Structure 1
Amino acid sequence: METISLRIYRTLTDEIISGALPPGSALEEIALSERFKVSRTPIRQALRELAARGMIELKPRKGGIVTSIGVAELSDMLEAMCELEALCCRICAERMSAVQKKQLELVHLESQECVANGDDAGYLALNKKFHHLICAGAHNKSLSDMIDNLRDRLAMFRAAQTGVDKRLTMSHDEHDAIISAILASDPEKAYLAMRNHTTRLSIHVLEVIKEHQG
């Protein structure tokens, strides 16, 4: 059962990722307590979890400030994400079960319909499922947790790909290479295919952020 602090944490995470709470926003304990109609104890627990994921900077006895990520730090995080997801894909090619492979195939086929129909929202949901299935297929919880943490912190920046021409087609073609390597149980090809996919996205994200800050 979901705890009060977890519910608050998830709500605030969604607001930070969506940009509803931009960098520099103050998260004050008293205000949050009034908003969610709870005591300050679950508020503090939720804020500690946000701080542990690097999404806010805690202010003793006050609350927290939504963190601002510079280009250098963002570049470091994107590089780490590229390598971790590629590593996960490599392990997945060796460990993924037959059932999990079939699930991955079905998600990939569904996403093809979204590409054909220009359904961005549908593709985004299936893309998330596609990557989560690959993480699950690696059967390594520590690696999966690290990727989830980085994915949360990078979500608002990675959304910058919305301006890429034919992005759904490009993404789906890259997924083709990834899934082919996994189904063939070829760890090296799986690693390179995922690295190519995430690196392209990371380069575009950095270009967009530099433009905005320039």
Structure 2
Amino acid sequence: METISMRLYRILADEIISGTVEPGASLEENAISERFKVSRTPVRQALRELANAGLVELRPRKGGVVISISLDELADTLEALGELEALCCRISAERMSAVQKKQLELFHLQGVECMEHGDEDGYLELNAKFHQLICTGAHNKSLAESIEKLRARLNQFRAAQGGVERRLAQSHDEHEAIVNAILASDAERAYLAMRNHANRLSVHVLEVMRERQVSHAA
């Protein structure tokens, strides 16, 4: 069940990313508490989560200030994450256990079933498990931690991937290439397949963000 603080975080993050709340705007604890008719405790937690996501800068006893969101900085971070995920996929092709490979194949097959039944939410849930298993399969703690930090920083921005991941057939084909490469222990092919997948998603996120900013400016 979604907590009050996470609901506030999600709503405020969406408003910041969409441009409804502009860079430099103050997010005062009292004002947010009054707006949503909640105590200041979940408000403080939501603001901390926004700060962890790189969306606001906290000000002691004053709430937070919305950080300016640069498309160039977003592009840089997406590129870094894509390269790390591709590297992770390359290593996983060499290190994944037989059990993990079987689990990856099962996630992919379950995704196909979701696609055939038009279960978009189920597919997206399996998609998250699919990518997490590949990260785990590399058996590299430092790499996993680096990816997790970037994912946390990009969490709300990458939510814009929802639209493109709902193009289930295209996502399925890209996952198919990734699975086949890992099952064949072909490290280089796995790297290229994941990088292609990540790059497509990154391009989509940047397009969505650019359109939102242009729309808001108009």
TM-score where L is the length of structure 2: 0.77
Number of residue-to-residue matches in the alignment: 205
Looking at structure 2, the residues matched to 122 and 165 of structure 1 have their Cα atoms a distance apart, in angstroms, of 12
1:94 is matched with 94
> Residue 173 of structure 1: CA displacement?
0.6
1:70 is matched with 70
> Residue 51 of structure 1: CA displacement?
3.1
2:154 is matched with 154
2:84 is matched with 84
Looking at structure 2, the residues matched to 201 and 141 of structure 1 have their Cα atoms a distance apart, in angstroms, of 25
1:133 is matched with 133
Contact 1:16 1:66 (8 Å CA) reproduced: no
Contact 1:86 1:191 (8 Å CA) reproduced: yes
For residues 53 and 136 of structure 1, do their structure 2 counterparts lie closer, same or farther at Cα, with a shift above 3 Å needed?
same
Map of 1:45-194 to 2, 5 A cutoff?
50-164=50-164, 167-194=167-194
Looking at structure 1, the residues matched to 51 and 161 of structure 2 have their Cα atoms a distance apart, in angstroms, of 27
Contact 2:29 2:63 (8 Å CA) reproduced: yes
Of 147-156 and 26-35, the range deviating more from structure 2: 26-35
Of 118-127 and 141-150, the range deviating more from structure 2: 141-150
For residues 27 and 146 of structure 1, do their structure 2 counterparts lie closer, same or farther at Cα, with a shift above 3 Å needed?
farther
* Helix, strand or coil at the partner of 2:65: strand
For residues 37 and 101 of structure 1, do their structure 2 counterparts lie closer, same or farther at Cα, with a shift above 3 Å needed?
same
For residues 95 and 123 of structure 1, do their structure 2 counterparts lie closer, same or farther at Cα, with a shift above 3 Å needed?
same
Looking at structure 2, the residues matched to 165 and 37 of structure 1 have their Cα atoms a distance apart, in angstroms, of 37
Looking at structure 2, the residues matched to 156 and 52 of structure 1 have their Cα atoms a distance apart, in angstroms, of 11
Of 203-212 and 92-101, the range deviating more from structure 2: 203-212
For residues 55 and 166 of structure 1, do their structure 2 counterparts lie closer, same or farther at Cα, with a shift above 3 Å needed?
closer
For residues 12 and 148 of structure 1, do their structure 2 counterparts lie closer, same or farther at Cα, with a shift above 3 Å needed?
farther
1:4 is matched with none
Looking at structure 2, the residues matched to 115 and 161 of structure 1 have their Cα atoms a distance apart, in angstroms, of 17
* Helix, strand or coil at the partner of 2:160: helix
Of 181-190 and 154-163, the range deviating more from structure 2: 154-163
Map of 1:192-207 to 2, 5 A cutoff?
192-207=192-207
Looking at structure 1, the residues matched to 33 and 204 of structure 2 have their Cα atoms a distance apart, in angstroms, of 39
Contact 2:8 2:43 (8 Å CA) reproduced: no
RMSD: 3.0
- Structure 1 unmatched runs, 5+: 1-6
For residues 121 and 20 of structure 1, do their structure 2 counterparts lie closer, same or farther at Cα, with a shift above 3 Å needed?
farther
Query: Which string of whole-angstrom CA distances, capped at 9 and with x for unpartnered residues, describes residues 46-95 of structure 1?
Result: 75565344242121332323444221111111111110110111111111
Aligned structure 1 segments of 4 or more residues deviating by more than 6 angstroms: 31-36, 42-46
For residues 140 and 167 of structure 1, do their structure 2 counterparts lie closer, same or farther at Cα, with a shift above 3 Å needed?
same
